[in-house]
Structure 1
Amino acid sequence: MAVLWTQDYAVGVDLIDRQHQELFRRFNSLIEACKERKGREQVAGLLDFLGGYVISHFQEEESLMAAHQYPGAAAHSSEHRDFAGQLRELRSHLDVEGASFNLLIETNESVLRWLIQHIRKTDTALGAFLQTRR
């Protein structure tokens, strides 16, 4: 089932919202591939994309936090590091065991869960803070 971007996920910072929308598009492409029974072929591509894109995305967010002296920056950055570690573990699993069905399920569940929770809680708090600084 695709995860649709709605305004509920908007944090109010155009750059961050556009980047989040791209993450949703990529994740949805994996879901579509799974429906077509091509998910195993797509999981490596998604993990490769995420490995680079989220690092860049996290750097953008962390730059905004530093520039505006966001009081929740340490905890927010810690979540970023934890997720980057989770992605490295998934990639390592892929490298060792290949694109197994279990890896596909784990990627779907863990990445989607983290993405939604992080955006709805942590990123929206950052967005609200940044709105007060404008």
Structure 2
Amino acid sequence: MADWISWTSDLTLNVPKIDEQHRELIRQFNDLGEAVWDGKGREAIGDILRFLADYTVKHFRDREPLMDTLSYPNSDAHMKVHAALIEEVSEFIRKVEVGSVESQLVISVVDRLGQWTRQHIRLEDKALGQYVLSKE
């Protein structure tokens, strides 16, 4: 099956650590989509969701000190957006853990999170990447 979310050149920030983390996030989204497509059970889907959530938190935590160190002017707003996504993903994981979740719901969440991630990278993260590169 083709990737659910494709890596495209407009997602590249030219900040290697951030780009690699973004690529890993997209790989995980694709693993989740594949698990749903293959009809894997709630446990397998839950495992991928938890990994994706944990990795997202790690990714955000890695970036926040960078924003502080470089005195990134939009860091407060950027971190609020991160916190909102973490809460949304956490809520979805809770739903998966307490009951059966239909594949269509998982697909819609994967699509929503994929759209959010691509949009966030193209706008907020691109601005951050340009700021980082300007400070080097």
- TM-score, normalised to structure 2's length? 0.89
Contact 1:43/1:99 (8 A) holds in 2: no
Q: Which runs of 5+ in 2 are unaligned?
A: none
Does the CA-based 8 Å contact 1:93-1:103 persist in structure 2?
Answer: no
Counterpart position of 1:44: 46
Residue equivalent to 1:90: 92
Q: For residues 22-81 of structure 1, what are the alpha-carbon distances to aligned partners after superposition, in whole Å with 9 as ceiling and x for unaligned?
A: 011111122223333337554212211122111110011111100100001011001100
Q: CA deviation at 1:100?
A: 2.3
Q: Determine the C-alpha separation between the residues in 1 that align with 2:53 and 2:135.
A: 31
Aligned to 2:108: 106
Say if 1:42 and 1:111 are closer, same or farther in 2 by CA, change over 3 A: farther
Q: What is the CA RMSD across the aligned residues, in angstroms?
A: 1.7
In structure 2, how many angstroms separate the alpha carbons of the residues matched to 1:35 and 1:101? 8
1:10-25 pair list within 5 angstroms: 10-25=12-27
Identity of matched residues, %: 35
- What number of residue pairs does the alignment pair up? 134
Other-structure match for 1:26: 28
TM-score normalized with structure 1 length: 0.90
